[in-house]
């Protein structure tokens, strides 16, 4: 794959939908994918590392970067800024990799406007009850946080129509398979194949 043929895969989901597991499985199974590390102003959780999970920066720094136009998209989520730095896409393109973004609905909308060829995927839990069970099973959130996440999920789900694909996460293995299939199918699109087709055609001349 030549630079410039990079596809952005935009993945969004309400929390508790199983998105993190699916995305990490996708990254493990499919070669030439780069995970986009976002910038955020929220505080790191105990297990998170700066530069790996996020780049953790101050509000002031974030706002200066917005003013300088450094972000491909950015949004305020739960009172904190989150944004995708342009360099993530540049780096993926230079490596000949595709870029996988785990971003919210506002960011997905901005990115689709900026990069219409981007492929967007919305992950859904099969029902409210299953989502609630999954949030409780994680047992890392207080009751108030669980209720807020459920409430937020109801709002976020209404945006499914903005996405190219919707994945109902009933069972991890099947969902991973679908996610991998979406990436593979995108890579087989004719416009993505041009560079590979030409030398093949040449052998028939």
- Residue 27 or 185: the one with the smaller Cβ distance to ligand 5GP is 27
Size of the site for ligand 5GP (CB under 6 A): 13
- Residue 38 or 169: the one with the smaller Cβ distance to ligand 5GP is 38
Structure tokens belonging to residue 3:
């630079």
Q: Please, are residues 124 and 166 in contact by the beta-carbon 8 Å criterion?
A: yes
Q: Please, are residues 144 and 115 in contact by the beta-carbon 8 Å criterion?
A: no
Of the ranges 97-105, 133-141, 166-174, 195-203, which one interacts with ligand 5GP (CB under 6 A)?
A: 97-105
Nearest to 16 by CA among 181, 180, 127: 127
Structure tokens belonging to residue 159:
């945006």
CB of 38 to ligand 5GP, least distance (A): 3
- Please report how many Cα atoms fall inside a 13 Å half-sphere around the Cα of residue 189, on the Cβ side: 13
d(CA 187, CA 115) in angstroms, rounded, equals 16
CA distances from 97 to 3, 26, 28, 43, 109 (A): 8, 14, 14, 30, 22
Q: Is 42 in the site for ligand 5GP (CB under 6 A)?
A: yes
CB of 12 to ligand 5GP, least distance (A): 6
d(CA 178, CA 144) in angstroms, rounded, equals 33
Q: Is 82 in the site for ligand 5GP (CB under 6 A)?
A: yes
Site string (106-125) toward ligand 5GP, x via CB under 6 A: xx------------------
Of 92, 103, 121, 123, the one binding ligand 5GP (CB under 6 A) is 103
Of 26, 89, 99, 104, the one binding ligand 5GP (CB under 6 A) is 104
CB of 18 to ligand 5GP, least distance (A): 13
Nearest to 131 by CA among 102, 155, 153: 153
Of 17, 38, 41, 175, the one binding ligand 5GP (CB under 6 A) is 38
Residue showing the smallest CB distance to ligand 5GP in the complex: 107
Residues that bind ligand 5GP (CB under 6 A): 38, 42, 73, 75, 77, 82-84, 102-104, 106-107
């Amino acid at each position: 794959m030549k630079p410039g043929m990079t596809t952005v895969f935009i993945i969004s989901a309400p929390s508790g939908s199983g998105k993190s597991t699916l995305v990490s499985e996708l990254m493990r199974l499919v070669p030439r994918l780069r995970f986009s590390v976002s910038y955020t102003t929220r505080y790191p959780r105990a297990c998170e590392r700066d530069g790996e999970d996020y780049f953790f920066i101050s509000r002031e720094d974030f706002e200066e970067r917005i003013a300088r136009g450094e972000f491909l998209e950015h949004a305020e989520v739960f009172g904190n800024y989150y944004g995708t730095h342009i360099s993530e896409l540049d780096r993926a393109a230079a490596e000949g990799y595709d870029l996988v973004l785990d971003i919210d609905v506002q960011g997905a909308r901005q990115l689709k406007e900026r990069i219409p060829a981007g492929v967007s995927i919305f992950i859904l839990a099969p029902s409210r009850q299953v989502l609630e069970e999954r949030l409780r099973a994680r047992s890392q959130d207080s009751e108030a946080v669980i209720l807020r996440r459920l409430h937020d999920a109801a709002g976020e789900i209404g945006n499914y129509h903005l996405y190219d694909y919707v994945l109902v996460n009933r069972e991890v293995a099947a969902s991973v398979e679908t996610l991998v299939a979406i990436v593979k199918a995108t890579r087989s699109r004719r416009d993505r194949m041009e560079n590979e087709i030409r030398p093949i055609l040449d052998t028939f001349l």
